[in-house]
Amino acid sequence: MRTIVAVMVIAGFFGAAAQAFAQMDSTSYQIRWDTVGNGGDDVSSSSSYILKDTTGSAGIGDSASASYELGAGYRPGISSDVLDFSFFSEDSATSTAATALAGLTIDCDPTDFSIGDMIALLQDRGEDQVTAIGQVVSIGIDSITVDALKDAGDMPAIDGSNDFVAILEGESSALSTLSTSAVRTSVIGMSVSSSAPDGYAVQILSDGDFRDVAETVNPVADGSVTAGSEEYGARSSDSDISSSTFDSADSAITTSFQTIADLDAVVSNDRNFLVTKAAISPSTVAGSYAQTLTLIVSGHY
């Protein structure tokens, strides 16, 4: 029997760009913000909270002339920039059969799940897989309920045949034993919060081919990873990406950064996912194939 084990290791990074603020300056000095008040403290903190405050502000409000704009009051132009990125990869070892979906409740054996787990719901795991992700908010006797289901345009239809719920956690992902008669998949969930006014982008790159020493699984080139063909690639749940094909086709992950999710808006916990897919042909050499992926999120300021 041919045994090909595929492992994917994913690394996450975090990028931020500076935001420009109004300021006062001279040749030698720059006063970005100042306060005239009767008390308070610019920054107070405890182990749990940070407070930025002042008291006694007077004449607050916005005013403008042809040349200037004034926002009077306690630092009205300042807010703490937020750029937060989390990703979680499919733990196929803990996947559980799903038998039905009603609203946000998935019928399954809930033994392996905890409240707060990120999960992927997989209809017909493999080549024709339909995926959605969510976070467990309650656990029943024979079901789990999630806060929302983010899909890639089609909600999974669960009939109990080849349907699963898998926990998304950690930074490595296994495609298990590859097959000449099926497509193996693994889901990478992503969540972004960004206060950047023009939104954010998540980009991906690999450290090389999906490989075992000199042997590689060919990067997908025809837009679809199909059973029986030696192909490896990924598809995003973001259906609107202008700078890459991950939104509309199974695409090769290269050593150059490519966008896998973007949104032109301020967002809180905006979720997307990437489904990595691999298939082999009878001529694929047995081995343990792997690559390292790097994900970067950047705010658009």
Which residues are at the interface with Ca ion (CB under 5 A)?
A: 124, 159, 161-163, 222, 224, 226, 229, 238, 240, 262
Minimum CB separation of residue 68 from Ca ion in Å reads 37
Nearer to Ca ion among residue 159 and residue 198 (C-beta): 159
Distance, first Cα to last Cα, the chain? 54
Structure-token pair, residue 97: 């059969």
Buried b (16+ CB within 10 A) or exposed e, 41-79: eeeeeeeeeeeeebeeeeeeeeeeeeeeeeeeebeeeee
Tell me whether residue 177 or residue 229 sits nearer to Ca ion (CB atom): 229
CB of 97 to Ca ion, least distance (A): 10
Angle value at C-alpha 87, between 289 and 110, nearest 5 degrees: 90
Minimum separation from the CB atom of position 188 to Ca ion (A)? 16
Identity of the residue, 239 or 255, whose beta carbon is nearer to Ca ion in the bound complex: 239
Task: CB nearer to Ca ion: give 57 or 224.
Answer: 224
Nearer to Ca ion, 15 or 160 (CB): 160
Give least dist CB 129 to Ca ion, A: 10
Between residues 46 and 283, which has the closer beta carbon with respect to Ca ion? 283
Torsion of CA 118, 122, 127, 128, to 10 degrees: -130
Are the beta carbons of 197 and 266 closer than 8 angstroms?
A: yes
Q: How far is the CB of 226 from Ca ion (least distance, A)?
A: 4
| Long-range contacts formed by 77-81: CB under 8 A, 24+ apart | 77/21, 77/22, 77/33, 78/21, 78/33, 78/52, 79/195, 80/195, 81/16, 81/19, 81/195, 81/196, 81/299
Which residues, at least 6 apart from 173, have a Cβ–Cβ distance to it below 8 Å? Answer: 7, 8, 9, 10, 89, 90, 92, 186, 188, 276
CB of 221 to Ca ion, least distance (A): 8
CB of 184 to Ca ion, least distance (A): 14
Which residue lies nearer to Ca ion by CB, 163 or 212? Answer: 163
